[in-house]
Amino acid sequence: MKSPAPRRVEVAAALIFHQGRLLITRRPAGSHLAGLWEFPGGKREPGESFEACLVRELEEELGIRVNVMRLWSTVEHSYPEVHVTIRFYLCRWTGGEPRPLGCAALKWVDRRRLRRHRFPPADARLLEQLVRSADLWEGGGPA
We find that the CATH architecture of domain 7-133 is: Alpha-Beta Complex (3.90)
Confidence (pTM): 0.90
Phi-psi region of 134 (alpha: psi -120 to 50; beta: other; left: phi over 0): alpha
* Residue 46 CB neighbour total at 10 angstroms: 5
- 10-residue mean pLDDT profile of the chain (143 residues): values are 77 96 93 88 96 97 97 93 94 97 96 94 89 84 53
pLDDT confidence of residue 30: 83
Provide CB contacts within 8 A for 109, sequence distance 6+.
21, 22, 24, 116, 117
pLDDT confidence of residue 90: 97
pLDDT confidence of residue 52: 98
Q: What share of the chain is helix, strand, coil (3-state, %, to 5)?
A: 25, 40, 35
